[in-house]
Amino acid sequence: MPREAVTAFVGIGANLGDARSAVLAAAQQVGALPDSRLLAVSPLYRSAPVQADGPDFINAVAAVQTRLTAPALLQALQGLEALHGRERPWRNAPRTLDLDLLLYGSAHIASDRLVVPHPRMLERAFVLLPLRDIAPELVDPEAVAAVTSQVIARIP
């Protein structure tokens, strides 16, 4: 019997190479994963790195309906990062693509490899603003108010 589909939200970001193209391509690739389909992609945002150095990021959030388990989805997202040349020389290093599993339905997961909801999503304007664009019911206005000092702008 097939697994019931779950709506997951994936944070997408890049700040090396053609970041805009990488983010747009990754959104489509997330929707093309096995047993998955893209439901929505937020507008793009430009944001300054948080707790890191390097060029500004291009960010978005994608909603995907999937039958993949959360660990399988995480593994698939890491595979897409590798396809885009993602390297991890140090924590918060600049990157060609960063895919974060933000939410997986209403699941709360805490394992060595995966924590959902994403543990830092409420601290990041580059997650909250694009998520609010596609799923406003999931974003507390007080959380948005708490990140207003972060440099971020919607881009065309």
Among 98, 112, 133, 154, the active-site one is 98
| C-alpha span between 105 and 79 (Å, rounded) | 22
For 92: left if phi > 0, alpha if psi spans -120 to 50, otherwise beta; the answer is left
Rounded to the nearest 10 degrees, the angle between the axes of helix 70-83 and helix 19-31 is 140
* Residue 88 annotated to the active site: no
Beta bridge partners of 37: 65
Cα–Cα distances in angstroms (integers) from residue 104 to residues 32, 64, 65, 89, 132, in the given order: 17, 10, 10, 28, 16
Is 10 buried (19+), middle (13-18) or exposed (0-12) by CB count in 10 A? buried
* Residue 140 annotated to the active site: no
Q: Which amino acid is at 49?
A: P
Among 46, 95, 124, 132, the active-site one is 95
* Residue 100 annotated to the active site: yes
* Residue 98 annotated to the active site: yes
Among 46, 53, 67, 86, the active-site one is 86
Among 18, 46, 56, 100, the active-site one is 100
Catalytic residues: 86, 95, 98, 100
